[in-house]
């Protein structure tokens, strides 16, 4: 079966776009081929800074013939109707149609249309130009003499060549014949810009990859990453140093080079007085270099990755990078010194005052106003999380102050981190300094959550204010769009609460945040209808959706989540505890049998209610005729008390055994008792007894939702 080799070669593709673009290319091509009636055995994408590549194996050589039957008019239909049918079916005469009989509608015509299959090369020549012309780049450009013409090709960078060969492994592959934007497909590619200038003719993928390697191009991005990691570690080790791992930077650097060559440079020793994170970010953001460390801390050496094997061993490349790194660290040193002088002489007050001039959102006021809301809310949450109200308020007041520091202005990634350093210099409480740094956390699913009480209070207040604010102005996430990271904020609250085992009802916290936003941004209190109705129904539902996603990722069953979470459930820790305890119980034999019993009871009740059968309001023991009725009533009473006591304390693990104890008396009841007794009063009493089973189990979960 034939293979396809497809390469799009251009000027430098931005590193952050390459991986996704290669994946998009694979999906667009394979989807189009399948839609055209072709199949394939496997496809893999590759990318370098100058090329996107698709290696597609085992493509069928042609699409299959398609046979279609088209029903026509009755045989006695008007001539014009028959002529229209012939034109639509592509028939030259009615003799080419088949006549069929319908017992009810009589005779009618049927046309059999056969669409012959097409060679795969012809299909490729049709679909590939459109894929190139409509490629989903985030940003693209026009170039050259035709750039001013309407409909001229747009690409991320000027497209220089298209390589497209197709054919079986045992034969000479053919070049698929098409052109896009004046660039015709061929079997020619380019090697490394400096090491292997000139055209390279290739046949199929194995030949292509081998020739590129000889031309100083490592095609596989994962292999480039491994080469950089291994060579960098070995080079550092030889100098008695250790590479500081940074997977994000490694991904970016691997997408900047086709032939990675690690080198080591150095900066002035005096710059090691800067905070480690400042050094790392300065070197990373400005020069895409890695920092190195020794036993006692960071080294003044750094590791860069060149894209060339220089004739001088990389001396000029190292010197150029050292010049830039030293200049940028000199800037950072100046900012660090200026900020420390500011803190030493005037403290945080000037930075805090400037926050009033920084707009947070046009409809939600300034950063200063937001900080005051967070300060108030953090103090209110302090008692719940066992933090001192004064410390929580102080940490919240200082939390955003470093946004006005010169260091954070230059490196926004350092917000929080620098604030904590400045708080330490100013002699602030250690818990306050930690909260300033940690209140943004967690920033992602693998990020640690804050655990210190003051940090927790400020982090929660920050996220509650964010959610309440954007809910107040109706700027909620829609579809995949979430410009204000509100899903992340909600998930952050969920993780902070659950991982710190906090009993924190959401509704009071959200109401407090909502009230503050309305008073601050709109100069009015929230009406009870908006606060208690819209807020609970909408924002609480948003939390429920995030919680379900989080717990499902932790292995919870979706039906148990539905059984436990009702529209007013707002204690996250209690919900998680109920789901866990319920799941463990239902995995036992008692759990499975009790679930079957409660379903049987629910089905009986539903059927009787539908018939209009009377169900007693309360259970009357005087109407019991069978011992199993008395035993079930006693078991229900005992379970109701035990469940209620432990649910109030949030100990669902201790409440579940009381539910489990119902299993035997429920089984005995259905074995010994005829629910639909002839005596109407007895029947109504027995139905009430069944109804009381659901009343107890509902304190833990809605068993009707459980699969």
Residue 150's pLDDT is what?
80
H or E element at residue 164: strand 159-167
Give dist(CA 241, CA 250) in Å, integer: 18
Residue 526's pLDDT is what?
52
* Two structure tokens written together for 314: 């990389």
Residue 530's pLDDT is what?
47
Cross-strand partners of 106: 102
* Span of 105-109, 183-187, 630-634 with lowest mean pLDDT: 105-109
Residue 538's pLDDT is what?
82
pTM of the model: 0.77
| 246 pLDDT more than 90 | yes
Residue 694's pLDDT is what?
86
Q: What percent of the chain has pLDDT over 90?
A: 60
Number of H helices, E strands in the chain: 26, 18
| 64 pLDDT more than 50 | yes
- Residues 72, 76, 81, 86, Cα dihedral to 10°: 50
Residue 537's pLDDT is what?
66
Q: What is the DSSP letter of 94?
A: G
Give dist(CA 655, CA 96) in Å, integer: 78
pLDDT in tens, 318-376: 999 999 999 999 999 999 999 999 999 999 999 999 999 999 998 898 999 999 999 99
Residue 197's pLDDT is what?
83
pLDDT in tens, 684-706: 998 988 899 888 888 888 888 88
pLDDT in tens, 255-277: 999 999 999 999 999 999 999 99
Rounded mean pLDDT of 585-612? 84
pLDDT in tens, 110-128: 888 878 889 999 999 999 9
| Exposure string over 442-472, b if 16+ CB within 10 A, otherwise e | beeeeeebbebbbbbbbbbbbbbbbbbbbbb
How many other CB atoms sit within 10 Å of the CB of residue 524?
9
| 82 pLDDT more than 80 | yes
Residue 354's pLDDT is what?
96
φ, ψ dihedrals at 4, nearest 5°: -115, 130
Closest listed residue to residue 453, CA positions, set 435, 441, 466, 440: 435
pLDDT in tens, 193-241: 999 988 999 999 999 999 999 999 999 999 999 999 999 999 999 999 9
pLDDT in tens, 518-551: 887 776 655 554 444 466 568 888 999 999 999 9
| 643 pLDDT more than 70 | yes
Across the chain, what does the average pLDDT equal? 91
- Residues 216, 220, 224, 227, Cα dihedral to 10°: -90
Rounded mean pLDDT of 8-18? 95
């Amino acid at each position: 079966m034939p293979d396809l080799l497809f390469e799009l070669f251009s000027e430098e593709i931005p590193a952050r776009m390459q991986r996704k673009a290669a994946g998009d290319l694979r999906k667009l091509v394979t989807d189009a081929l399948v839609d055209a009636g072709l199949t394939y055995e496997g496809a893999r994408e590759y990318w370098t800074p100058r090329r996107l590549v698709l290696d597609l194996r085992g493509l069928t050589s042609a699409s299959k013939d398609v046979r279609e039957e088209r029903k026509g008019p009755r045989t006695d239909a008007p001539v014009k109707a028959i002529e229209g049918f012939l034109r639509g079916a592509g028939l030259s005469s009615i003799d080419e149609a088949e006549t069929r009989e319908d017992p009810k509608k009589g005779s009618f015509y049927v046309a059999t249309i056969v669409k012959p299959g097409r060679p795969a090369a012809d299909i490729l020549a049709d679909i590939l130009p459109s894929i190139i012309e409509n490629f989903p780049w985030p940003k693209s450009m026009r170039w050259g003499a035709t750039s001013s013409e309407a409909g001229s090709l747009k690409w991320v960078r000027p497209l220089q060549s298209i390589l497209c060969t197709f054919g079986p492994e045992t034969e000479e592959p053919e070049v698929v014949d098409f052109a896009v934007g004046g660039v015709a497909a061929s079997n020619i590619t380019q090697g490394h810009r400096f090491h292997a200038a000139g055209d390279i003719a290739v046949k199929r993928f194995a030949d292509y990859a081998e020739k590129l390697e000889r031309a100083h191009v490592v095609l596989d991005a994962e292999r480039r990453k491994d080469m950089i990691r291994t060579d960098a570690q070995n080079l550092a080790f030889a100098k008695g140093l250790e590479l500081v791992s940074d997977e994000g930077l490694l991904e970016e650097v691997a997408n900047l080079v086709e032939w990675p060559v690690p080198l080591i440079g150095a900066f002035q020793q005096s710059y090691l007085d800067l905070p480690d994170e400042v050094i790392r970010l300065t070197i990373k953001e400005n020069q895409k270099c890695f920092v190195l460390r020794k036993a006692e801390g960071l080294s003044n050496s750094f590791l860069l990755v060149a894209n060339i094997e220089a004739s001088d061993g990389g001396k000029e490349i190292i010197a150029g990078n050292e010049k830039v790194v030293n200049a940028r660290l000199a800037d950072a040193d100046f900012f660090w010194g200026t900020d420390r002088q500011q803190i030493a002489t005037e403290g945080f007050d000037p930075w805090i005052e400037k926050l009033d001039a920084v707009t947070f959102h046009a409809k939600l006021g300034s950063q200063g106003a937001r900080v005051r809301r967070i300060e108030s809310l953090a103090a209110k949450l302090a008692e719940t999380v066992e933090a001192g109200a004064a410390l929580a308020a102080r940490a919240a007041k200082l939390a955003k102050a470093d946004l006005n520091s010169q260091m954070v202005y230059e490196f926004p990634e350092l917000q929080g981190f620098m604030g904590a350093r400045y708080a330490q210099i100013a002699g602030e409480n250690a818990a306050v300094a930690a909260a300033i740094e940690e209140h943004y956390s967690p920033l992602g699913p693998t990020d640690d959550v804050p655990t210190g009480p003051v940090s927790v209070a400020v982090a929660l207040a920050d996220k509650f204010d964010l959610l309440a604010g954007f809910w107040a102005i109706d700027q909620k996430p829609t579809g995949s769009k979430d410009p204000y990271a509100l899903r992340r904020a909600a998930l952050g609250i969920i993780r902070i609460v659950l991982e710190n085992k906090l009993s924190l009802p959401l509704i009071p916290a959200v109401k407090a945040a909502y009230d503050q936003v309305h008073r601050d941004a709109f100069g009015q209190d929230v009406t009870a209808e908006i606060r208690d109705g819209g807020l609970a129904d909408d924002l609480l539902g948003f939390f429920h959706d995030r919680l379900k996603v989080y717990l499902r990722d932790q292995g919870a069953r979706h039906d148990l989540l539905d059984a436990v979470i009702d529209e007013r459930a707002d204690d996250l820790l209690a919900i998680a505890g109920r789901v866990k305890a319920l799941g463990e119980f239902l995995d036992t034999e008692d759990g499975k049998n009790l679930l079957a019993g409660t379903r049987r009871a629910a089905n009986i009740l539903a059927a009787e209610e539908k018939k209009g059968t009377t169900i007693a309001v309360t259970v009357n023991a005087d109407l019991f005729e069978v011992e199993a009725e008395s035993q079930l009533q006693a078991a229900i009473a005992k379970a109701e008390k035990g469940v209620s006591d432990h649910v109030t304390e949030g100990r669902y693990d201790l409440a579940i055994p009381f539910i489990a104890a119902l299993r035997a008396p429920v089984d005995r009841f259905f074995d010994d008792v005829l629910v639909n007794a002839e005596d109407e009063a007895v029947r109504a009493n027995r139905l009430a007894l069944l109804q009381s089973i659901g009343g107890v189990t509902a304190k833990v979960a809605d068993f009707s939702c459980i699969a």
